[in-house]
Amino acid sequence: MSHAPQPLGAPAVRREGRAKVTGTARYAAERGLPGCLYAWVVPATVPAGRVTAVRTVDALAQPGVHSVLTHDNAPRLHEPDDPILAVLQDDRVPHRGWPVALVVADSLASARAGAEALHITYETTEHDVVLTEDHAGLYTPEEANGGYPAVRERGDFDRAFAESPVRVDVTYTLEPLHNHPMEPHASTARWSPEGHLTVYDSSQGATKVRDSLAAAFGIGTDKVTAVSEHVGGGFGSKGTPRPQAVLAAMAALHTGRPVELALARRQMPALVGHRAPTVQRVRLGAGPDGTLTSVAQEIITHTSTIKEFVEQAAVPARVMYGSPHSRTTHRVAALNVPSPSWMRAPGEAPGMYALESAMDELAAELSLDPVELRLRNDPADEPDSGKPFSSRGLAACLREGAERFGWQDRDPAPGIRREGALLLGTGVASATYPVYASPGHASAHAAPDGTYRIAINATDIGTGARTVLAQIAADVLGAPLDDVAIDIGDSDLPDASLAGGSSGTASWGWAVHKAASGLAERLAAHTGPLPDAGVTVTADTTEETAEKSPYARHAFGAHFAEVAVDTRTGEVRMRRMLGVFAAGRILNSRTGRSQFIGGMTMGIGMALTEGSTLDPVFGDFVESDLASYHVPVCADVAAIEAHWIDEDDPHLNPMGSKGIGEIGIVGAAAAVGNAFRHATGVRLRTLPLTPDRVLTHLA
Catalytically active residues are: 662
Which residue's CB is nearer to ligand MOS, number 491 or number 497? Answer: 497
The C-alpha angle 665, 670, 675, rounded to 5 degrees, equals 125
Q: What are phi and psi of 373, to 5 degrees?
A: -60, -40
Helix axes 465-477, 504-525, angle to 10 degrees: 30
Q: What Rg, from alpha-carbon coordinates, does the chain have?
A: 26
Q: How many residues does the chain have?
A: 699
Q: Which residues lie near ligand MOS (CB under 6 A)?
A: 204, 236, 239, 342-344, 346, 500-501
Minimum CB separation from ligand MOS for residue 434, in Å? Answer: 10
Nearest by Cα to 472 from 501, 489, 502, 452: 452
Count other Cβ atoms within 10 Å, centred on residue 435.
25
Q: How far is CA 368 from CA 106, 354, 361, 504, 518, in A?
A: 67, 19, 10, 39, 54
Longest CA–CA span in the chain (Å) reads: 82
Strands 92-93 and 99-105: unpaired
Minimum CB separation from ligand MOS for residue 66, in Å? Answer: 35
* Number of residue whose CB is nearest ligand MOS: 236
Which residue's CB is nearer to ligand MOS, number 285 or number 346? Answer: 346
CA dist., res. 444 & res. 518, Å (int)? 8
Chain centre to alpha carbon of residue 165: 39
CA dist., res. 498 & res. 504, Å (int)? 7
Strands 92-93 and 325-334: unpaired
Q: Which stretch of DSSP H or E encloses residue 366?
A: helix 348-366
Q: Which stretch of DSSP H or E encloses residue 331?
A: strand 325-334
Q: Terminus-to-terminus CA distance in the chain, angstroms?
A: 58
Q: How far is CA 148 from CA 236, 310, 312, 567, in A?
A: 19, 10, 7, 43
Minimum CB separation from ligand MOS for residue 238, in Å? Answer: 8
Whether the ω angle into residue 350 lies within 30 degrees of 0, i.e. cis, is: no
- Asked if residues 362 and 168 have their Cβ atoms less than 8 Å apart, the reply is yes
